[in-house]
């Protein structure tokens, strides 16, 4: 997951904040600068060698990290406080498989910790400084939430616009047009093309000529609504033939039925459920 990077300004110190896997990590290196800008690594190591710190880190990992190694944690806890004991962030991470502290290399690297842990480190540096960090961090999150709400409202607006565009497209492209006088008077070679013209407005050959890059025929690319109406038109056409209506009369009636039925189907909730 891509990291999201931010900065907060706390009493003149810029403190980096990164969001990874939906969790916020605050730079311990930047917090340590409040105490001594030149000795940040040593300050973090001094904090790590305390027994209270080791217990904080270990218990946090037990709660949030299923891959944490508690045996190695116990080993560090027993050594904590001894004059010879030294613990670096890298050693803690590699030995215990910890996720609460992260070491980053490069120009914008340093030691980062989950906000729960970072605020405890800030307390160790300065209670007052910690309070200012909390204040600025909360301001950052409020700003992010405001931006997310704005983006969400924008997406809703765009969705509404797209919905109307979509419904207009349906009206323009799915609802059959009334046939022209020329189409009504034309003699069609077969009854299938008569139904095609009533519903699609063109014959099968005209569709193939206009879609030479597609394989299949006009009915292969019909929508669910069009296929339903197509079946109905074929049944109705059979009845009209029995009534001895001319091809021109039948085409006119079939076209009217196609328009009426398509208008009904494109707004049908049941058809939308079938397509979902």
Whether 25 and 119 map to the same domain: the answer is yes
Average per-residue pLDDT in the chain?
Answer: 84
Q: What is the pLDDT of residues 56-115, one digit of tens each?
A: 999 999 999 999 999 999 999 999 878 888 899 999 999 999 999 998 876 668 899 999
Query: Does residue 155 lie within any of the structural domains?
Result: no
Of the candidates 142, 155, 193, 170, the one whose C-alpha atom is nearest the C-alpha of residue 262 is 170
Whether 257 and 186 map to the same domain: the answer is yes
Whether 191 and 255 map to the same domain: the answer is yes
Task: Reply yes or no on whether the pLDDT at 141 is more than 90.
Answer: no
Number of folded domains in the chain? 2
Which residue, 116, 140, 164, sits at the end of a domain? 140
Whether 17 and 132 map to the same domain: the answer is yes
pLDDT, residue 120, reads: 94
Query: Does residue 151 lie within any of the structural domains?
Result: no
Query: Does residue 105 lie within any of the structural domains?
Result: yes
- Decide which of 40 and 269 is more confident: 40
Task: Reply yes or no on whether the pLDDT at 42 is more than 50.
Answer: yes
Q: What is the pLDDT of residues 162-217, one digit of tens each?
A: 444 444 444 445 567 888 888 888 877 788 888 899 999 999 999 999 998 888 88
Query: Does residue 167 lie within any of the structural domains?
Result: no
Whether 203 and 117 map to the same domain: the answer is no
Region 239-258: mean pLDDT is 90
Two tokens at 129?
């400084």
Which residue, 99, 123, 140, sits at the end of a domain? 140
Query: Does residue 166 lie within any of the structural domains?
Result: no
- Decide which of 204 and 150 is more confident: 204
Task: Reply yes or no on whether the pLDDT at 1 is more than 70.
Answer: no
Whether 181 and 122 map to the same domain: the answer is no
Q: Which residues contact 198 (CB under 8 A, 6 or more apart)?
A: 176, 179, 233, 251, 254, 255, 257, 258
Query: Does residue 156 lie within any of the structural domains?
Result: no
- Decide which of 235 and 149 is more confident: 235
Whether 74 and 129 map to the same domain: the answer is yes
Whether 58 and 116 map to the same domain: the answer is yes
Q: Are 123 and 31 in contact (CB under 8 A)?
A: no
Query: Does residue 146 lie within any of the structural domains?
Result: no
pLDDT, residue 167, reads: 46
- Laid out side by side, the sheet with 13-20 consists of 4-10, 13-20, 23-27, 110-114, 101-104
Whether 125 and 178 map to the same domain: the answer is no
- What percent of the chain has pLDDT above 90? 45
Domain enclosing residue 42, as ranges = 4-140
Query: Does residue 28 lie within any of the structural domains?
Result: yes
Whether 110 and 208 map to the same domain: the answer is no
Which residue, 97, 117, 140, sits at the end of a domain? 140
DSSP per-residue letters across 236-275: HHHHHHHTT--HHHHHHHHHHHHHHHHHHHTT-HHHHHHH
Whether 132 and 249 map to the same domain: the answer is no
- The answer to pTM > 0.85 is no
Q: What is the pLDDT of residues 202-241, one digit of tens each?
A: 999 999 999 988 888 888 888 878 888 888 888 888 888 8
- As a whole number of angstroms, the distance between CA 268 and CA 223 comes to 14
Whether 130 and 176 map to the same domain: the answer is no
- Decide which of 1 and 145 is more confident: 145
Q: Residue 177 half-sphere exposure, CB side, CA atoms within 13 Å?
A: 9
């Amino acid at each position: 997951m891509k990291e999201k990077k931010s900065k907060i300004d706390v009493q003149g110190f810029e403190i980096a904040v990164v969001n990874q896997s939906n969790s916020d990590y605050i730079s311990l290196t930047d917090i340590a600068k409040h105490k001594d800008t030149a000795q940040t690594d040593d300050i973090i190591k001094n904090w790590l060698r305390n027994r209270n710190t080791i217990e904080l880190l270990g218990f946090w990992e037990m709660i949030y990290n299923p891959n944490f190694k508690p045996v190695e944690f116990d080993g560090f806890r027993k050594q904590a406080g001894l004059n010879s004991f030294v613990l670096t962030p890298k050693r803690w991470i590699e030995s215990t498989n910890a996720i609460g502290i992260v070491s980053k290399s490069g120009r914008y690297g340093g030691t980062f910790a989950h906000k729960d842990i970072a605020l405890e480190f800030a307390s160790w540096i300065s209670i007052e400084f910690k309070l200012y960090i909390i204040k600025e961090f909360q301001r950052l999150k409020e700003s992010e939430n405001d931006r997310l709400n704005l983006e969400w409202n924008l997406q809703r607006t765009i969705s509404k616009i797209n919905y109307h565009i979509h419904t207009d497209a349906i009206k323009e492209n799915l609802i059959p047009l009334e046939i022209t006088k020329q189409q009504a008077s034309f003699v069609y070679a077969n009854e299938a093309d008569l139904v095609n013209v009533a519903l699609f407005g063109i014959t099968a050959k005209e569709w193939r000529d206009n879609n030479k890059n597609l394989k299949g025929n006009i009915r292969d690319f019909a929508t669910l609504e069009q296929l339903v109406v197509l079946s109905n038109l074929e049944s109705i056409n059979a009845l009209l033939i029995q009534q001895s209506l001319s091809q021109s009369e039948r085409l006119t009636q079939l076209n009217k039925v196609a328009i009426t039925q398509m208008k009904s189907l494109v707004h049908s909730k049941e058809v939308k459920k079938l397509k979902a």
